[in-house]
Amino acid sequence: MKTVLTLALFALLVSPALAQEWQQFTYPDQGFSVSFPGQPQIRDSTITLAAGSNVPARIYSLTQGANDYLLTIADFSAATSDDDTIINQAADALRATGTVSVDIQARVRRNYGRQLAVTAKDGSHSVGAIFFVNHHLFQIEGITHPANGGGDSSGAARFQQSLDFIGANGGYGYGFGRRYRF
């Protein structure tokens, strides 16, 4: 009985501490918010399109234990591709990494995209979503690496589901009548 009470007390004390690790990070100038289990690193990069040209991108990332949390935002303002083509190309690239177990339409507020779950050839599990909002591709992906001791993909799913677009009407970069850009 004493052991059960001790375990129950321990669970009550530890649960809030674990829950507090996750923080909502809001980037109003970028028009989105997302939760990470710690402070993400932010770096500028480029991504290569199927046609071979490059577009600027910003990557928000964090590795914690056996999990990787990645949000890539690519600026297609100067590109001529349409929304559906860009979403499909990004989804095709993610599908090509392994065996797809989920591939469905997704929506965050008024913005549509794709949600995918993929098991890679190395055994890692990826939960991701792709959106194209105001000439920007948002690709969010939580990856669990079982080979590195990770067997719980709940953090990856939590991360992927935390993406929100902020601004007027839940749209990217439109707040208080202003258009925000990188």
Q: Domain span at residue 7? A: 2-179
Domain CATH number, residue 168: 3.40.1000.10
- 148 against 70, higher pLDDT: 70
pLDDT per residue over 39-82, tens digit each?
Answer: 999 999 998 877 777 899 999 999 998 999 999 999 998 877 78
Do residues 85 and 92 lie in contact, with contact meaning Cβ atoms separated by under 8 Å?
Answer: no
SS3 129: strand
pTM passes above 0.85: no
Domain count, the chain: 1
Structure-block tokens of residue 156: 């990856």
**Which DSSP letter does residue 167 get?**
B
Structure-block tokens of residue 106: 């997704």
